[in-house]
Amino acid sequence: MVETLLAAQLGNALVARQWLATTAESCTGGGVSAAITDIAGSSAWFDRAFVTYSNEAKQEMLAVQAATLAQYGAVSEPVVLEMAAGALAHSRAQMSVAISGIAGPDGGTPQKPVGTVCFAWADTTGWQHVTTCLFDGDRQAVREQAVAYALQGFLDRLQAMQ
């Protein structure tokens, strides 16, 4: 399974840097943190997960601003940037990923069709990266692709820092 391989690689890279990771997940429902915690010894490099499926949870747990949610919607780059920053602020981690999307089968619009997933990564150096993807497939396929993409984004950042 690609997620297991990516999570193991992430663990090695975080241990080498002596960093901890955290996740802030919406549409993946904890899938990234599950992939991470499937790896034995992940407590050495994974701090905590925030599964913030509702807008209220995003606000209460991650300090996402109500105005940001109202202006852009939960599935937006501004919201995931605030989620990633909130995860760092509310954890001991040095690196975070945030994910919000429309996994389907319902909920899509012409502007944000099913399969739209927004990602943000941040770290304590001040670096941030945000992107939006459109994944194909059913709900499970969208979620699996999002988990793998989130893990790969962590790895890409860590490799760029070497």
Span 21-32, pLDDT tens digits? 999 999 999 999
**Total-model pTM:** 0.97
* Cβ neighbour number for residue 52 with a 10 Å cutoff: 24
Q: What's the gap between Cα 16 and its chain centre?
A: 21
Residue 7's contacts (CB-CB under 8 Å, 6 or more residues apart) are: 35, 36, 38, 39, 42, 151
Tell me the average pLDDT across 106-127. Answer: 97
> Using 50, 70 and 90 to split pLDDT, how confident is the model at 162?
confident
